[in-house]
Amino acid sequence: MQVKNRATGTRVQRGAIREARMSDLVTPLLDRRKLVTGAVGLAAASALPRPALAQGAPLKVGFMLPYSGTYAKLGQFIDAGFRLYVDQKGGKLGGRAVTYVQLDDESKPENGTDNMNRLVSRDKVDVVVGTVHSGVAMAMVKVARDTNSLLIIPNAGANDATGPLCAPNIFRTSFSNWQPNFPMGKVMYDAGHRNVATITRRYAAGAEQMGGFKEGFTKAGGKVVEELTLPFPEVEFQALITRIATLKPDAVHCFFAGGGAVKFVKDYAAAGLAKSIPLYGSGFLTDGTLEAQGAAAEGIKTTLHYADDLDNPANKAFLAAFKAKVGQEGDIYAVQGFDSAALLDVGLTAAGGDVAARPKLISAMEGAKLDSPRGPLSFNRAHNPIQNVYLREVKNGRNAYVAVAQANVDDPARGCKLSA
């Protein structure tokens, strides 16, 4: 059955092009004409032109990101950050004009393999940029390995992607789940906390982020007294918050992001616990969410590879340009999108714009030293970022820089067989 797509006026297969359900955080940023939803995107995708392989033809970038659901704003800001970089380069990367295909992965791991296959095998994109959710990313990594497709992960922290599943054609511009959490262990211990409860969602990213924290906290001498979880993407936090009130730990460390982070911070404050049992988190808790969290977030301390007010020229220029283009404040997701384009630019420039010149492309990306808004950014042998992790505190609705929690944090890349 055919329906009319209001954005383009074209007739498409029902559901093939779908307007993203914006979360309450988001204003529309999408080029809806190009948005295909993974499960039902056939008509839209097959209507796209065949990829031009010849050098000089536009480079086809496939965004596989969540444009709907609890991580919608994260996906949209990655997309917008990437485009900002390309715009600043006159619409080109490595001298080649860029075209985009957008696929809404809906943060559904069960559709990850099909969606990734669709981009690489049918749409024949030159590079896939995705995604946010670790479970979806794991499916993408497996397809990228099987098909030798170039994949840049602009958020998902799944440790294995730059661990046992590392590969020459897979890069990450964000973090491993271990990375922003390990330094928090010492931060909380030094703040005097000895018995800490953790709370997160029951999926790969939740387990790995809390695992990184536990490693750092127990190494410092602290004890994790209870590890609370709830399914993704549920937001019924009340029973777990009641449990925290009963346990009375010295403090709580958590991982939530996007829409779930907004609700958790508000519910925690509403339960009256914020003063007696301080809430800490990896910085995803308060990045891109502060406007919606309002006063409930004030004073929360987090660790992340970014802070809003990092005092470096690259950050100031980035935030001003993002605000001018998108009309909203930039955040870590926008930075990670921006840096994904910057990394690809380095590789493509070295390869004369030819994605098929793989050895040149990859060795340039491996050696890239980016002047990122987050500070200096380079890559380890597993293609995971080496970067500072900052302690931040929410002050007047901003993630204000407090200190460097740990400089040049390098994920251990356990199980990765690539050599330096």
Q: Report the nearest approach of ligand PHB to the CB of residue 157 (Å).
A: 4
Q: Does 284 bind ligand PHB (CB under 6 A)?
A: yes
Binding mask 194-213 for ligand PHB (x = CB under 6 A): -----------x--------
Report the residue from 18, 34, 118, 133 that binds ligand PHB according to the rule CB under 6 A. 133
Report which of 298, 306, 406 is spatially closest to residue 77, judged by C-alpha positions.
306
Residues in the interface with ligand PHB (CB under 6 A) total 13
Task: Please say whether the dihedral angle defined by the alpha carbons of residues 141, 143, 148 and 153, taken in this order, is positive or negative.
Answer: negative
Binding mask 170-189 for ligand PHB (x = CB under 6 A): -------x------------
Report which of 82, 140, 131 is spatially closest to residue 107, judged by C-alpha positions.
131
Report which of 246, 248, 266 is spatially closest to residue 256, judged by C-alpha positions.
266
In angstroms, the CA 394 to CA 416 distance is 36
Stretch that binds ligand PHB, among 20-28, 132-140, 334-342, 398-406 (CB under 6 A): 132-140
Report the residue from 132, 254, 262, 389 that binds ligand PHB according to the rule CB under 6 A. 132
Q: How far is CA 377 from CA 22, 28, 206, 335, in A?
A: 31, 30, 25, 12
Stretch that binds ligand PHB, among 14-22, 149-157, 238-246, 388-396 (CB under 6 A): 149-157
Q: Report the nearest approach of ligand PHB to the CB of residue 78 (Å).
A: 11
Nearer to ligand PHB by Cβ, of 74 and 120: the residue is 74
For residue 12, give both structure tokens.
């498409």
Q: Report the nearest approach of ligand PHB to the CB of residue 183 (Å).
A: 16
Residue pair 178/208 in contact by the 8 Å Cβ criterion: yes
Q: Which residue has the tokens 């990306």?
A: 365
Q: What is the DSSP letter of 311?
A: -
Q: Report the nearest approach of ligand PHB to the CB of residue 207 (Å).
A: 11
Please give the torsion angle defined by the CA atoms of residues 263, 264, 268 and 271, in that order, rounded to the nearest 10 degrees. Answer: 50
Nearer to ligand PHB by Cβ, of 177 and 384: the residue is 177
Stretch that binds ligand PHB, among 51-59, 94-102, 122-130, 152-160 (CB under 6 A): 152-160
Total number of residues shown for the chain: 420
Nearer to ligand PHB by Cβ, of 105 and 126: the residue is 105
Residue 249 main-chain phi, psi, to 5 deg: -70, 170
Report which of 231, 174, 225, 178 is spatially closest to residue 200, judged by C-alpha positions.
231
Stretch that binds ligand PHB, among 32-40, 131-139, 223-231, 235-243 (CB under 6 A): 131-139
Instruction: Please give the residues from 345 up to 404 whose contact with ligand PHB meets the rule CB under 6 A.
Output: none
Report which of 118, 253, 282, 274 is spatially closest to residue 194, judged by C-alpha positions.
253
Q: Is 289 helix (H, G, I), strand (E, B) or coil?
A: coil
Q: Report the nearest approach of ligand PHB to the CB of residue 54 (Å).
A: 36
Report the residue from 5, 37, 134, 372 that binds ligand PHB according to the rule CB under 6 A. 134
Residue pair 7/32 in contact by the 8 Å Cβ criterion: yes
Stretch that binds ligand PHB, among 127-135, 264-272, 359-367, 388-396 (CB under 6 A): 127-135
Residue pair 201/231 in contact by the 8 Å Cβ criterion: yes
Stretch that binds ligand PHB, among 10-18, 155-163, 219-227, 305-313 (CB under 6 A): 155-163
Q: Report the nearest approach of ligand PHB to the CB of residue 251 (Å).
A: 21
In angstroms, the CA 112 to CA 161 distance is 15
Binding mask 239-278 for ligand PHB (x = CB under 6 A): ------------------x---------------------
Q: What does the DSSP assignment read for 71-136? A: THHHHHHHHHHHHHHHHHTTTEETTEEEEEEEEE-TT-GGGHHHHHHIIIIIS--SEEE--SSHHH
Beta bridge partners of 4: 11
Q: Which secondary structure element, helix H or strand E, spans residue 372, and what is its range?
A: strand 370-372
Q: Report the nearest approach of ligand PHB to the CB of residue 89 (Å).
A: 27
Report the residue from 109, 154, 157, 259 that binds ligand PHB according to the rule CB under 6 A. 157
Nearer to ligand PHB by Cβ, of 158 and 310: the residue is 158
Q: Report the nearest approach of ligand PHB to the CB of residue 332 (Å).
A: 8
Q: Report the nearest approach of ligand PHB to the CB of residue 299 (Å).
A: 21
Q: Is 387 helix (H, G, I), strand (E, B) or coil?
A: strand
Q: Does 141 bind ligand PHB (CB under 6 A)?
A: no
Which residue ranges make up the site for ligand PHB (CB under 6 A)? Answer: 71, 74, 132-134, 155-158, 177, 205, 257, 284
